[in-house]
A and B are shown apart, each in its own frame.
Chain A
């Protein structure tokens, strides 16, 4: 069965520090995509970063990078230089040959001054 696991219900980080949010996945399909979304209190899901299963390099988007370890089936999100506005829920998700996304339970990140 396809599954996303996020084991950190909550994380705290000081402003300007880096933080890693963990994500592991389970699938038997060799072709898949991995995504991270941010959900602020307003409710909208904001796309952050994408990694394809065949991509050789780790994805990066500004302060976001995805630490993709295929053998371990992990896709951790690294946020560098945290900002107060980064405080939100973060969801890891996966899709296969259809576009429907399978989400994890999320990690609540709180950035403090």
Chain B
């Protein structure tokens, strides 16, 4: 089954404790992206990747890191989480390129930073 998976689905952590949220897709998509969703703000793009080893900042990159060492995986790293990073996070992927921008979303990761 074609899908985007995220782990963990739910996470409670404390301020400053490094964490990684994994994202994997099995559709051989070139493009992957991370978003955070907050009430009243919709989804905001954190980082995106156009291919292996090619990443760029979205609108809200502060406090986050990403890497794209393999085509299928795009982990999101919070080196020193803070309470304002409490949010619902979505990973997405698409084929990329003109007319192929439909994004497929993972189920979401709900993060609480105490």
Do A and B truly interact? no
Residues of A in contact with B (beta carbons under 8 Å apart): none
Residues of B in contact with A (beta carbons under 8 Å apart): none
